[in-house]
Structure 1
Amino acid sequence: MQFDFEFDFEHWRTLAEEEPARYFAERKALIDRFIASAPASMAPDLMQLQGLIDHSRAEAGTPQIAVQQMMGMLGDYLAALAGQMRELQQHSLALAAIQSRAD
């Protein structure tokens, strides 16, 4: 299933300002639809990530602090991914060396 979404910033801004309860309900429904559109094997990770985001937003106090915290989390995840990629590259090179000796 493909997730089809066009973001109308003004709609969401107005909704958040004028009808906060409806904003949060629609936001949750949108996030739930997005997670449901992903492969089922990804759903637990996506739900966990969304929980971390929601927790950070609630604890931050201001939107600016929340964004800073989320960017820090993103940086941590990217650093971990880069480390895994380097490790895979090292294993790949070692396997290639073994293969070339076998030939």
Structure 2
Amino acid sequence: MNALEIDATADLEIQVPRGDDGSLQDGIVTVLGRSAAVDRTEVVDISGVTPTLNDLRVDAEVRLRVHLDDSVEDERAAVRETVADQFGVRTVSAVETDRSS
């Protein structure tokens, strides 16, 4: 079984814990980096922040490098599902991919 490295951009709503060291962007990278499938995260834009009791609900656009099984037929759907399965990610939308080597 081989793996693909997929570069993608996605809009997402994510819960970033309060009280962690670093910036809001660092918090987004940390949450997404907990997934074994996400190799790299870059925050492109933050379009909204809503404080809640224990975290910040953030609307952001991110660039990701995601490792997927090479048998996937729909890369965008696979990226969406992989990222959405991560704890703290509420929604994933507007996924665009650009396959890398």
TM-score scaled to structure 1, two decimals?
A: 0.24
Q: Higher strand share goes to which structure?
A: 2
Bigger radius of gyration among the two: 1
TM-score scaled to structure 2, two decimals?
A: 0.25
